Amino acid sequence: MTYARIIGTGSFLPEKVVTNADLEKSIETSDEWIRERTGIRRRHIAADGETTSEIGLRAAERAIEAAGIDAADIDLIVVGTATPDKIFPATACIIQRKLGIAGCAAYDVSAACSGFVYGLDVANRFIQTGGGRTALVIGAETLSRITNWEDRTTAVLFGDGAGAVVLQANEETGIISTHIHADGRAEELLHVPTGISIGYEAVQAGEAYIAMNGNAVFRKAVATLDSIARETLAGNGVDKHDLDWFIPHQANLRIIRAAAKKLDMPMERVVVTVDEHANTSAASIPLALDIAVRDGRIKRGELLLLEAFGAGFTWGSALLRY
């Protein structure tokens, strides 16, 4: 059997840092309030001219280097993002050009915070069905561009960053299964109220910012992450206690702890990076994965559960042997 196996990881965070103390100077909030409710201490913000493709490229280059391959070996590029450089072409195509390659398939996946897991699902099926041998999956966001920095309910939550993995066909077990879902009925609980086909007038009126019903999203996220974990483990005949690591979407420490508790997973076996970069949407899981791989926590052969939940609502999981 052919598996899609992760052979390299990479990540990148912009140099500029905005701490909770910095936000105290511009909006009515406090470091204590933010940390108690979210676990976030700081977030990285893209500089002027630093685009999603640019930070995605940095993460991709590090993943390619870790994989020990040439960019020309890549058969597919998938970028999960809600903040593309342009309406078109796809940010994946822009990154492809910046990598100095051409010819392989390249496109974006728009599934908000679940974008990376959706991308893994696509790439896994691509490799398993013989579409190619090597895939580059990136999660990259510049959420600062769609954050209202005067809105205390959302300004504290989001940051910019990118993470990437290189997948390659292998006889050793890699991705065991992926599961993705969506429910568009919850659209207005977490969304950007305007967009291109709605009309530029709304954008010019300053309405192109993230809007969120925080309490409703919290409740839905905890319940949904529990259900997708049960689906994933039951579908593969895996006991939750067999998991070595849990890598959830890094949105809120309270959500992460609640999801870990339902899995009976000690927090020492949960990768948590939200305190360092806030919610980076599609970038958060590959960011967390890369950090834990590079600091030596995650080792070859260990069993990982990745889970995401985002606007749409979208949600998904991936069970894999690293």
Catalytic residue numbers read: 113, 249, 279
Dihedral pair phi/psi, residue 239, rounded to 5°: -80, 140
Rounded CA-CA distance 68/316 in Å is 29
Q: Is the CB of residue 27 less than 8 Å from the CB of residue 150?
A: yes
Contacts of residue 92, Cβ cutoff 8 Å, sequence gap at least 6: 77, 78, 79, 106, 107, 108, 138
Given a contact cutoff of 8 angstroms between Cβ atoms, the answer to whether 42 and 54 are in contact is no
> With contact defined as beta carbons under 8 Å apart, do 98 and 60 qualify?
no
Identify whether the C-beta of residue 268 lies closer than 8 Å to the C-beta of residue 125.
no
Q: How many CA atoms lie within 13 Å of 169's alpha carbon, on the beta-carbon side? A: 16
Half-sphere exposure (CA, 13 Å, Cβ side) for 46? 26
What sign for the dihedral angle of Cα 261, 267, 273, 274? positive
Q: What's the one-letter identity of residue 218?
A: F
Contact in structure between 33 and 24 (CB atoms under 8 Å): no
* Beta-carbon count within 10 A of 99 CB: 20
Helix ranges, the chain (H): 20-24, 31-38, 52-67, 91-98, 115-128, 200-204, 214-236, 253-262, 274-277, 284-294
